[in-house]
């Protein structure tokens, strides 16, 4: 069963002079096992939208159904929330326990799992995020580097085996190697756990690589939604919105402007390279 | 959860009240508090309330915004009222049933406590609503500066207050974010007895403290790297200056006190009110 969002509107400080509608009439569906990329300029409402997915905020109007559980209903919300794992942008808001091991087991413990099941899951989560058990299990989460903290925070959610994994800009502030590692990790446990992933990111290059579906938010409303090929073929529009389309998509669009006859739907470096290789032997200056 | 707190909030509009010198406004608050405390007659309190409404109108802050300050006291006020109503026994008996006795003195006292608290809180919130934290602390620093002669750390105190006021919203926002992060991990903050609830707060308090300490350290570094070394020899970009309106405001508030004193000594209606109520209830003294 999917997550269904129907005509969702959310207003901050509703009814006061500072009322601000951050999400306006958004409808979308997230299917089982799907990888959804959510992009939009800063302040477009990405964080607000994904916090509705596990009921941390409730819609001002409209509905959020997680596998049929209505997230506006207090009793159903608890059941729905158990299915959605949420990783926030800053690990500093989450880490609190004495050791990495204890911190990761916080979620599973709240799920009232058996101790040996908790142990198994913590070990597996640490392996999946690439934290060496012997080295990190007994370390304090506060003496870790930024990247290690992020891995620990991620492991804390993965250990809960969510059916839907929601990540708010998981790669912000990481170097290219760190970004690739996190992305590989997400792909990894998507395969292992079979979970759906909703990832918020500024970098479309990251999303282009793995997403099945891309949703573009603009000022709290859905600007475009579709397959990466569909979305990134509109790279000029995205660029004007202040977003950075994938490098390959922009390059392809630029080359076409110069008269290259390239096929549509190029948004990865590989596809661009293939298309250019097809010109080999042919005349490049059409 | 933390959205009700309006303490120290500034309401940005342009009005006479906003343009007054912060030192003046602090003095006005003191005069106002004096007025609130010397009132002896309930009916004269009506005059204080009218004055409060007048000040609100002058400040251009919506009345419901000023009244919001009372919201955190929604438990305290009824409690104070009832305690005073039943505990104080003076004057005439209005009502008596088993061990419960209500006297005219108790009713008076109960009304006074509630009205005074409301008047004080709304007055103080009007000050913060019309004064930015920065100018408020600057006003305080300048008002207290004579104390520097006795080595009282006036500047340091003002700086600490500025920083504290500046970080209250940040801290509340952060508490909210941390709470969400832990709720998402299945933290249960609501069920259980008080000990269980206190224990459930640990995952929220620890990140909050750790982040606050880190931020304090970063702030100290940022201040030092810009050569902050306390108040000595420090000058101001904007020097506070009194205007005619400051004089007028002080005169108006002084007049308030004078009027209160004159009214309650000339027309002590309150003293006869007890007789009046008793008469209406058809009871003898
Ligand atoms: N607590 C809040 N109160 C009022 N407005 C808010 C609050 N949080 C966010 N907003 C506003 O809602 C809009 C969307 O914010 P957010 O969802 O964080 O955007 P994004 O994650 O896409 O950068 C922004 O304009 C922001 O200013
Ligand atoms: Mg965000």
What confidence tens digit (pLDDT) does each residue in A223-235 have?
999 998 888 888 8
Query: Is B206 at the interface with chain A, CB within 8 A?
Result: yes
**Is residue B283's pLDDT more than 70?**
no
Taking the C-alpha atoms of residue A161 and residue A260, their distance in angstroms, rounded to an integer, is 47
Looking at per-residue confidence, does B279 or B38 come out higher?
A: B38
* Domain boundaries, given as residue ranges, for chain B: 1-131+243-285, 154-237
Distance CA A60, CA B190 (A): 23
pLDDT of residue B34: 93
pLDDT, one tens digit per residue, over A41-68 is 889 999 999 999 988 888 999 999 999 9
Residue in B174, B178, B210 closest to A142 by CB: B210
Q: What residue segments make up the domains of chain A, in order of their start?
A: 246-286
- A135 or A267, greater pLDDT: A135
Task: Tell me which residue in A17, A51, A156 faces B180 most closely, judged by beta carbons.
Answer: A51
Can you give the pLDDT at residue B272?
67
Residue A283 confidence (pLDDT) above 60: no
Please give the full DSSP string across chain A, using - where no structure is assigned.
--EEEEEEEEEETTTSTT-EEEEEEEEEEE-TT-EEEEEE-TTSSHHHHHHTTTTSS--SEEEEEETTEETTSHHHHHHHHTTEEEE-S-GGGT--SSSHHHHHTHHHHHTT--HHHHHHHHHHHHHHHT--HHHHTTS-GGGS-HHHHHHHHHHHHHTT--SEEEEESTTTT--HHHHHHHHHHHHHHHHHH--EEEEE-S-HHHHHHH-SEEEEEETTEEEEEE-HHHHHTTHHHHHHTT----HHHHHHHHHHHTT--PPS---SHHHHHHHHHTTTTS-S--
pLDDT at A286 over 50: no
Instruction: Band the pLDDT of B15: cuts 50, 70, 90.
Output: very high
- Say which range, A1-10, A270-279, B22-31, has the weakest mean pLDDT: A270-279
Which pLDDT score, from 0 to 100, does residue B2 have?
53
Residue B200, SS3?
helix
Chain centroid to Cα B217, Å, comes to 30
Label residue A2 by pLDDT band (50, 70, 90): very high
Position A173 pLDDT exceeds 90: no
Q: How confident is the prediction for chain B on average, in pLDDT?
A: 86
Contacts of B210 in chain A (CB under 8 A): 92, 96, 142
- pLDDT for B198 beyond 70: yes
Rounded Cα distance, A263 and A58, in Å: 44
Do strands A221-226 and B93-97 pair parallel, antiparallel, or not at all (unpaired)?
unpaired
Note whether B181 contacts A93, CB cutoff 8 Å: yes
User: Mind listing the pLDDT tens digit for each residue in A75-130?
Assistant: 888 888 889 999 988 889 999 999 999 999 999 999 999 999 999 999 999 998 88
Do A84 and A67 meet the contact criterion of CB atoms below 8 Å apart?
A: no
pLDDT number for residue B7: 58
For residue A17, list chain B residues with Cβ-Cβ distance below 8 A: 62, 65
Q: Which residue has the higher pLDDT, B194 or A212?
A: A212
**Could you tell me which chain A residue has the CA closest to the CA of B62?**
A17
Can you tell me the mean pLDDT for B249-254?
93
- Enter the ipTM: 0.81
For residue B33, what pLDDT is reported? 94
B chain contacts of residue A81, beta-carbon cutoff 8 Å: 183-184, 186
Residues A92, A84 contacting (CB under 8 angstroms): no
Q: Cα dihedral angle (B131, B132, B138, B139), rounded to 10 degrees?
A: 0
Could you give the CA distance from residue B285 to residue B269 in angstroms, rounded to a whole number? 18
Which stretches of chain A sit within 8 Å of chain B by CB? 13, 17, 51, 54, 56, 81-82, 84-86, 88, 90, 92-97, 106-107, 110-111, 142, 156-157, 160
- Give the ligand whose atoms come closest to the C-alpha of residue A217: 1
Q: At what angle do helices A115-129 and A176-193 cross, to 10 degrees?
A: 140
How high is the pLDDT of residue B163?
86
> Given a cut of 60, is residue B1 above it in pLDDT?
no
* Residue A189 or residue B53, greater confidence: B53
Let me know: does A65 contact A58? Beta carbons within 8 Å: no
Does residue A19 surpass a pLDDT of 80? yes
Residue count of chain A, please give it.
286
Query: Across the A/B interface, how many CB contacts are shorter than 8 Å?
Result: 63
Per the DSSP assignment, residues forming a β-bridge with A84 are A164
Which residues of A are less than 8 Å from B204 in CB distance? 96
Give the pLDDT confidence score for residue A189 in this predicted structure.
Answer: 84
Q: What is the pLDDT of residue B274?
A: 63
Q: How far apart are CA B114 and CA A178, in angstroms?
A: 60
Q: pLDDT value at position B133?
A: 82
Shortest distance, CA A102 to any CA of chain B (angstroms): 12
Task: To the nearest 10°, report the CA torsion of B78, B82, B85, B87.
Answer: -140
* Chain-chain contact of A88 with B177 (C-beta, under 8 angstroms): yes
> What's the confidence (pLDDT) of residue B3?
52
- How far is CA A204 from each of CA A169, A195, A241, A273, rounded to the nearest angstrom? 12, 21, 13, 18
Using 50, 70 and 90 to split pLDDT, how confident is the model at B284? low
Count other C-beta atoms under 10 Å from residue A191's C-beta.
10
């Amino acid at each position: 069963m999917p997550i269904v969002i129907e005509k969702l509107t959310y207003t901050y400080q509703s009814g006061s002079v500072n009322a601000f509608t951050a999400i306006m009439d958004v409808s979308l569906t997230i299917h089982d096992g799907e990888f959804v990329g959510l992009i939009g300029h800063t302040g477009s409402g990405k964080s607000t939208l994904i916090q509705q997915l596990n009921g941390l905020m409730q819609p001002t109007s409209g509905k959020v159904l997680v596998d049929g559980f209505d997230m506006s209903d207090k009793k159903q919300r608890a059941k729905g929330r158990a299915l959605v794992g949420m990783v926030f942008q800053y690990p500093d808001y989450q880490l609190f326990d004495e050791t990495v091991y204890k911190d990761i087991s916080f979620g599973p413990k709240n799920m009232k799992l058996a101790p040996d099941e908790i142990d198994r899951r913590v070990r597996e989560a640490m392996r999946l995020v690439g934290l060496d058990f012997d080295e990190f299990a007994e370390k304090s989460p506060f003496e870790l580097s930024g990247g290690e903290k992020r891995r620990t925070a991620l492991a804390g959610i993965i250990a809960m085996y969510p059916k839907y994994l929601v990540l708010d800009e998981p790669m912000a502030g990481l170097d290219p190697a760190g970004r690739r590692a996190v992305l590989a990790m997400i792909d990894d446990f998507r395969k292992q756990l079979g979970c759906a992933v909703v990832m918020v990111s500024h970098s479309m290059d990251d999303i282009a690589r793995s997403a099945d579906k891309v949703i573009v938010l603009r000022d709290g409303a859905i600007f475009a939604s579709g397959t990466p090929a569909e979305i990134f073929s509109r790279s000029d529009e995205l660029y004007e919105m202040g977003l950075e389309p994938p490098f390959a998509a922009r390059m392809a669009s630029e080359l076409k402007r110069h008269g290259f006859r390239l096929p549509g739907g190029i948004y990865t470096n590989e596809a661009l390279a293939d298309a250019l290789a097809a010109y080999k032997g042919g005349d490049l200056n059409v | 959860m933390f959205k009700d707190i309006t303490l120290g909030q500034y309401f940005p509009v342009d009005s006479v009240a906003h343009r007054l010198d912060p030192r003046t406004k602090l003095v006005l608050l003191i005069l106002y508090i004096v007025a609130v405390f010397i009132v002896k007659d309930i009916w004269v309190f009506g005059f204080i309330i009218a004055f409060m409404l007048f000040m609100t109108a002058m400040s251009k802050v919506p009345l419901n915004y000023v009244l919001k300050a009372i919201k955190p006291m929604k438990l305290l006020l009824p409690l104070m009222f009832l305690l005073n109503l039943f505990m104080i026994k003076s004057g005439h008996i209005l009502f008596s049933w088993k061990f419960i006795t209500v006297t005219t003195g108790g009713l008076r006292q109960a009304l006074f406590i509630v009205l005074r608290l409301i008047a004080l809180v709304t007055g103080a919130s009007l000050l913060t609503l019309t004064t930015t934290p920065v100018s408020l602390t600057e006003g305080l620093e300048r008002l207290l500066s004579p104390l520097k002669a006795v080595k009282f750390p006036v500047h340091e105190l003002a700086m600490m207050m500025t920083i504290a006021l500046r970080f209250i919203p940040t801290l509340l926002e952060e508490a909210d974010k941390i709470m969400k992060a832990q709720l998402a991990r299945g933290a249960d903050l609501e069920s259980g007895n008080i000990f269980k609830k206190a224990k459930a707060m640990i995952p929220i308090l620890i990140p909050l403290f750790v982040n606050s300490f880190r931020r304090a350290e970063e702030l100290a570094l940022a201040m030092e790297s810009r050569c902050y070394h306390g108040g000595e020899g420090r000058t101001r970009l904007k020097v506070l200056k009194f205007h005619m309106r400051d004089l007028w405001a002080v005169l108006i508030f002084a007049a308030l006190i004078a009027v209160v004193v004159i009214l309650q000594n000339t027309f002590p209606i309150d003293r006869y009110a007890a007789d009046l109520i008793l008469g209406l209830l058809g009871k003898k003294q």
